[in-house]
Amino acid sequence: MKDDYEIVEKDGILIARPREGSKPDFEERFLRAGIPPAFLDRDFKNFMLNPDYPSLARARAAVEKFAELYPAVNGGLLIMGPTGVGKTHLAVALCKTLLMKGAHCIFVDFRDSMREYTSYPNQDRREDYLHYLGSAEVLIWDDFASRSLSDWEEDFLYRLIDKRYREGATTVLTTVHQGESLERVIGVRLRSRLYEMCREVEITAPDYRSKVRRLSYRKGGKFEEDKEG
C-alpha cells in the first residue's frame, strides 16, 4: 500500500496522496487507502443504533458531521468505546466519505502499523515509514494503543503524533481505552498531546457485534457474516 502513494506539497505542508495515473474507481480507492476488504460495505446509513444506548446515535452524528464539514474542521477525533460497538465501522464510513470528497486518507490498523515499523532492518527505513504516516492528509488509526509499547515504540508514536499536531494534519483514532487506561499504554506525554489535537467521541454500549452473530446463528443454524464492524 505504501508504494501506491507519493509525498507532495499542499499549502506548504507535505502530504501523502495516490500516485498519478488512471483514476481508480471508488472501491479501488478505498482498498488503496487501506480499508480492509471485509469492511467495504460499512457506511453511516447501515451503522446499527439501539435506543437503549443513545451514545451510539450521538457518536454516529458526531462522526458524520465531521465528515460533512471536512476540511473546515478543527483537529481530529478520538473515538472511544469497548470492543464490538462499531468504532471501526464509523472510522471506515468516515474514511470512505472523505475519499469521495477528494481527501487523501490512509487507514491503518495499529498492530499492523507497529509490526511494519518494527520489521524494517534499519533506522532510515523506519524514518521513511514515520514520514509516510506523518504526511497523510488524513490518518485514520484503528484500534489505537491495542498493545503495550516498548520505550522506542512509544517514542515513535510521540514523534508521529507530534509531527501531525504541529503541521495541523487531521488524525482520527479508535480505541478501547479511556482516561487512565489509555495513559497507562501510551504514557502521559502522548495522552496529553491527544487531548490537544482530538475531540473525544465516546460510545457506552455492550458488545452488540457478538450479540448479532449469536442471533444470526439461532435464526439460520449457522453464522452469517457480521455487518457491524
pLDDT at 183: 87
pLDDT at 5: 54
Alpha carbons 181 and 187: distance in angstroms, whole number: 10
Phi and psi of 77, rounded to 5°?
-130, 145
Q: For residue 149, with 0-12 CB atoms within 10 Å meaning exposed, 13-18 middle and 19 or more buried, which class applies?
A: middle
What residues contact residue 24 under an 8 Å CB cut-off, 6+ apart?
Answer: 18, 32
Q: Which amino acid is at 19?
A: R
HEC secondary structure over the chain: CHHHEEEEEECCEEEEEECCCCCCCHHHHHHHHCCCHHHCCCCCCCCCCCCCCCHHHHHHHHHHHHHHHCCCCCCEEEEECCCCCCHHHHHHHHHHHHHHCCCCEEEEEHHHHHHHHHHCCCHHHHHHHHHHHHCECEEEEECCCCCCCCHHHHHHHHHHHHHHHHCCCEEEEEECCCHHHHHHHHCHHHHHHHHHHEEEEECCCCCHHHHHHHHHHHHHCCCCCCCCC
pLDDT at 19: 56
* Distances in whole angstroms, Cα of residue 214 to Cα of each of 38, 73, 78, 135, 217: 19, 39, 29, 42, 5
Q: What is the pTM assigned to this prediction? A: 0.81
pLDDT at 212: 53
pLDDT tens for the chain, 229 residues long, are: 445 556 666 666 655 555 554 445 788 899 999 999 999 999 999 999 999 999 999 999 999 999 999 999 999 999 999 999 999 999 999 999 999 999 999 999 999 999 999 999 899 999 999 999 999 999 999 999 998 888 888 889 999 999 999 999 999 999 999 888 988 888 888 888 998 999 999 999 988 766 554 444 444 444 333 434 4
Alpha carbons 108 and 204: distance in angstroms, whole number: 24
pLDDT at 214: 46
With cell 464492524, the residue in question is 229
pLDDT at 23: 46
Phi and psi of 78, rounded to 5°?
-120, 100
Q: Which amino acid is at 222?
A: K
